[in-house]
Structure formats: C-alpha cells, structure tokens
A and B are shown apart, each in its own frame.
Chain A
C-alpha cells in the first residue's frame, strides 16, 4: 500500500462544467503523475509533478491543468469538461531513489463520465 487516495472515485458531470480530481499521498514522495486510461490506448500521461509548484505536461495535456501547492496533494482540473474526457483517471507516485527503477504505485482510479 503506497498510501495514495483519489477523490472522487466516481463522478458524472455535464459538458462545460469544471471538474477537479484530487490525489493525496501520505509518504512525501517527490514525483506524482496523472494518467488517463482509455480502451485501446492503455494509460497515457496527462501531467506530472516533480515538487511543490513544479509541474510539466505529458502527452495528452490539452484541456487539463494541474496544481501542487503541498507535497502530499496533486490536483487535476478540467476547466470545461468535454465528452472526450470521459475516462478513468489514475494518480501515481514513484520513488526516484538513486539506483531505483522508478516503478509507479497507483491510486485506485477515478471514473469520470461527461454527459
């Protein structure tokens, strides 16, 4: 158990509304990630963070923003949700210790449906 919790776990919203997903970790890891999972695409990186206020874009970042004001929390925001953002969203952390392989530990996922 890597101490990662995501909220909400399920959400249904309407097109055009803002949505924020929260990822919380209890172990003070530096690196945090947001991925989305879609059939036929596997998991694709949206944004990641390498420290408080330090974030960078991933391969599918359009329409998403992130914030990290505290080590333990990484927020993903959809400013104006679209149906193409219906997906399962995973938060992950990695332990980037020297010599480590950097494997990811995942939260339980948040299923978002945009009507």
Chain B
C-alpha cells in the first residue's frame, strides 16, 4: 500500500522568511496525485496546492510552491514570505487514480515567529 511520510513533526520559521516542509511517499505507480493541506487552529482542512505526477512543472499558488521530484518520490512544500496566518498543521497526501480515497502523512506543525 502506498505510504506517505512527513519526517518533520514540527518546524518553525521567522515571519517573512522561507520554510520548506518535506514529504516522501512510496508507490509503484507512475500516475498519481499529490496534495498539501493546511489545518489552522480552527481545525478546518484547507487545500493549499495540488500536483499531478505526469506534469513536469512544479505547482505554484501565490506564496506556496512545491518541489516535486518524481524519481526520488519527494514532494516538498515551500512557503515564501511566511506570515503569522501560515501557522498550522500541514498534511501531505497521495491519491492513486485507481482508488477513490486519499492517504495522508502524519503532519508537520508549523510555527511562525513574529
């Protein structure tokens, strides 16, 4: 079964600086989808960014971008110009096109220091 690993339980960053959250996954498939979700203290799960494995170009959404390394099975999230509102749990997730459900990593808690 596919597994998703987030090796950093906690990270911190200074406001306005850049931070990178790591995610690796295990799969034998060539086509799949990857996601980053944000969970602020409100508990709401918010989709941050998505990446289709067949696309070479790394996805970008405003200050959020990914570094997708398919051969290394790595999918890291870079947050530029960090803001206090970025403080949250971040979850990496994988979805196979063969299955209709998503598998999540354990999460990384990001603290933003003013």
Contacts and interface: CB of A to CB of B under 8 A. Distances in A.
Contacts, number: 56
A107 to B, nearest CB: 9
Size bracket, chain B contacts: 20 to 34
B84 interface: no
Contacts of A108: 43-44
A90 B45 contact: yes
B49 to A, nearest CB: 10
Interface in A1-53: 31, 33, 35, 40-45, 48, 50
Contacts of B104: 35, 42-44
13 contacts: A42-B91, A42-B106, A50-B100, A94-B100, A102-B100, A102-B102, A103-B33, A103-B102, A104-B93, A105-B47, A108-B44, A109-B43, A109-B45
Interface of B: 1, 4, 6, 9, 33, 35, 43-45, 47, 50, 52, 91, 93, 95, 100-107
Given A96-B100, A103-B33, A103-B47, 17 more contacts: A33-B101, A40-B106, A42-B6, A42-B91, A42-B105, A44-B104, A45-B101, A48-B101, A88-B43, A92-B45, A94-B100, A102-B102, A103-B102, A104-B47, A105-B47, A108-B43, A109-B44
